[in-house]
Chains A and B, each alone.
Chain A
Amino acid sequence: MATSTPAPPEAQPGTASPTQRRRRNRDHLIGWAYAAPTAAFVAVFFVLPTLLVFRMSVSDWSLFAGDRGLNFPTNFTDALDDRLFWPAVRFTLTYTVVTTVILIALALGLAMLVQESSRWTSVLRTSFLLPSALGLASASLLFYALYSPQASPIPGLLRLLGFDVGTISFLGTPTSALISTVVLIVWRFAGFYMLLLLVGLQGIPGEVYEAARMDGARRWQIFWQITVPLLKSSLALCTILCVTGSLLAFDQFYILTKGGPDNSTVTLVQLVYNTAFGGQNDLGRAAALSIVVLAALLVINVVQFRGLRGKED
């Protein structure tokens, strides 16, 4: 990706005449001048904070009192000993697996339904894609009202259809809170992943399907033996995006469940947020915790890349 620029011909060190060298130096200077704002932004708002978070993770750093000295392994051991740490790990992983499986299966289904292009399919695609334009926080607020006992139209609709459901509690139990959040996320992201998979589907040449049909392959055989294997790189991309996004879930739980009921939906990022800003005000421990999350994320991504790349061969 970073090597796609063809190097200009004069950039050959060693053999340059003084004029050529002067010209090259001037070129370097101009290049740096244009890249300077990017470099400044990255240095101040990315590199410096990244170094600082490591520093914070080994310090006794309070939200209000600032740095109070070294506190090396304690932040990390305290973070792992937190009563909510392992439940948060378990919940985050459960949420990630459930979301990824349902979201990608549905997105693939939608992509196959709107695969051919005609005026109607483009209207349908737009309908599926429209929720992706909303912010995650706006979508969560919308579903917060949609799930509320007072304003929800869903029980009424079900009653109209002849189901007597009594009162439904969308966010009241750990399981229902999980399902309700997954429904929101699927609604918000299915169109987005559908579009990614659609591009992959359109890359499969029609002749491959023709040949399979001539050989008498059934629909399911075609799906499992042609579509899925040829779609592997698109599916891999969707999986990585979805897994990473779900492991870092925050907005939807902060707004829909606030981690409840009974702390059953506290995610890792929410634990970081609570440790830093939610009353404990312990920035050092929050930094340690977020470094644990960062490390886990790196490991998971490496495993995913290996696994998905290995399957491609």
Chain B
Amino acid sequence: MPRYVLTGALALLFLAPLLWAGVASVSPQGGTAQVDGWGFGNYQTLASYQAGILSFLWNSTYVSVLTVLFTLVVSTLGGYAFAWFTFPGKNALFLTVLAILMVPYATLLLPLYVLLNQLGLQNSLFGVALVMTMFQLPFATFMMRISFEAVPRELVESAMVDGCTTFGALRRVLLPAVKPGLITVGMFAFLAAWNDFITPLVLISDTDKQPLPLAVASLRSQVMGVVDYGATEAGVVVLALPCVLIFLLLQRHYVAGFLSGALKG
């Protein structure tokens, strides 16, 4: 029994910062002079900050949706190729994808900054989504490859005998079979893109193009060094809410996904 008490107390300790963020975001304390009394004053401050919260939310959503889309398309096609076809250079390509994991983020972002300038993608959220997709590829390609490999070959061969092309087989037979893999890859890509900080910090220079994490972080450097902690907490809640909801809804996939990513990878 004391073991349960200890574990329960620890669990509360882990939940406490999240609960506090929720409470602090609607409390008067820590806010600017505009906010007095309990309520959504901190959220109003956040909403009217710089380009406005809707614009920052849109930037974050845009990058996240594009990243999820690109990652799903590229890793599905790639995973299919790696699992079902032989072609020269296959293993070299797969190892190169995995090698992305070995090069630190910061090392790649320096040349990517130069390269995106060359490609005319400087200061562009589209460019950020492309870079984010590349960082997602090791996990996503690996995940889709093992998902495709787990599908019994007979299932597809009988479809081919019925006159299906390889793409037809992918669309009609294989995609439904690898759905759990797709959900996992999509969820991880969303969480990574939604939460990414250093990529847009390096690649985005306009304040109105910032995704939400950058905007909330820049609340710290407000006029005369006064930090609006209330608005910061409101920002943290807006940032955390989708992640917590996705986590609770897809917990099973989250756990299974990172275990296959971490243990087998």
Residues of A bordering B, CB below 8 Å:
1-5, 7-8, 11, 27-39, 41-42, 44-50, 52-53, 56, 61, 66, 110, 113-114, 120-121, 123-124, 126-138, 141-146, 148, 150-151, 153, 187, 190-192, 195-196, 199, 237, 241, 248, 250-251, 254-255, 269, 272-273, 276-277, 283, 286-287, 290-291, 293-294, 297-298, 301
Q: Could you tell me the distance between the alpha carbons of A37 and B166 in the complex, rounded to whole angstroms?
A: 17
Mostly helix, strand, loop or mixed at chain A's interface? helix
Smallest CB gap from B21: residue in A: A142
Contacts of A269 in B (CB 8 A): 104-106
Q: Which 4 residue pairs spanning A and B have beta carbons closest together?
A: A135-B195, A31-B85, A151-B30, A31-B87
Q: Given the complex, which residues of B lie within 8 Å of A2, measured CB to CB? A: 91, 94-95
Instruction: Mark B75-102 against chain A: 1 for CB-CB distance below 8 A, else 0.
Output: 1011011111111101101111111101
- Cβ-defined contact, A53 with B108, below 8 A: yes
- In the bound assembly, the distance between CA atoms of A192 and B104 in angstroms comes to 21
A142 to B15, CA, bound (A): 13
Instruction: Indicate whether B247 reaches chain A with its CB closer than 8 angstroms.
Output: yes
Cβ contact of B105, chosen from A110, A142, A248, A254, cutoff 8 A: A248
Contact yes or no, A42 B100, CB < 8 A = yes
Do residues A42 and B198 form an inter-chain contact, with CB atoms below 8 A?
no
On whether the beta carbons of A114 and B7 are closer than 8 Å, the reply is yes
Choose among B131, B166, B195 the residue with the greatest number of A CB atoms under 10 Å from its CB: B195
B33 at interface, CB cutoff 8 A: no
Query: How far does the alpha carbon of A254 sit from the alpha carbon of B202 in the complex, in Å?
Result: 13
B151 part of interface (Cβ distance < 8 Å): no
The verdict on B235 contacting chain A, using a C-beta distance below 8 Å, is yes
* A41 and B137 within 8 A (CB): yes
Are B104 and A297 closer than 8 Å at their CB atoms? yes
Indicate whether A46 sits within 8 Å of B96 (C-beta atoms), given known contacts A130-B247, A138-B239. yes
Q: Which of B82, B113, B197, B201 contacts A35 (CB 8 A)?
A: B82
Q: Are the C-beta atoms of A251 and B197 separated by less than 8 Å? A: yes
Q: A3-B91, A34-B77, A126-B248 are in contact. List 16 more A-B contacts (CB 8 A).
A: A1-B98, A30-B85, A42-B97, A46-B99, A56-B114, A110-B10, A129-B247, A130-B14, A133-B244, A134-B240, A134-B243, A138-B240, A148-B30, A151-B233, A196-B263, A254-B198
A2-B91, A34-B85, A113-B7 given as contacts; is B111 within 8 A of A56 (CB)? yes
**Which of the residues A48, A133, A291, A294 comes within 8 Å of B115, measured between beta carbons?**
A48
Tell me the interface secondary structure of chain B in the complex.
helix
A277 and B149 contact, CB distance less than 8 A? no
- Given A113-B3, A146-B20, A148-B227, check contact A133 B246 (CB 8 Å): yes
- Chain B residues close to A by CB (< 8 Å): 3-4, 6-8, 10-12, 14-15, 17-18, 20-21, 24, 29-30, 73-75, 77-78, 80-88, 90-91, 93-100, 102-108, 110-115, 130-131, 133-134, 137, 141, 149, 166, 191, 194-198, 201-202, 213, 216-217, 220, 227, 229-230, 232-233, 235-236, 239-240, 243-244, 246-248, 251, 254-255, 258-259, 262-265
27 CB < 8 A contacts A-B: A4-B149, A11-B86, A34-B77, A34-B81, A34-B166, A36-B77, A38-B93, A38-B137, A42-B100, A44-B115, A46-B134, A53-B108, A110-B10, A124-B11, A126-B248, A131-B14, A135-B243, A136-B195, A138-B236, A138-B240, A142-B17, A142-B233, A150-B229, A195-B255, A199-B259, A248-B104, A277-B202
Using known A-B contacts A35-B77, A145-B232, A199-B259, determine if residue A28 contacts B87 with beta carbons closer than 8 Å. yes
A66 to B122, CA, bound (A): 14
CB of B134 within 8 A of CB of A42, answer yes
- CB neighbours of B255 from chain A (8 A): 129, 195
Residues of B within 8 A of A37 (CB): 73-74, 77-78
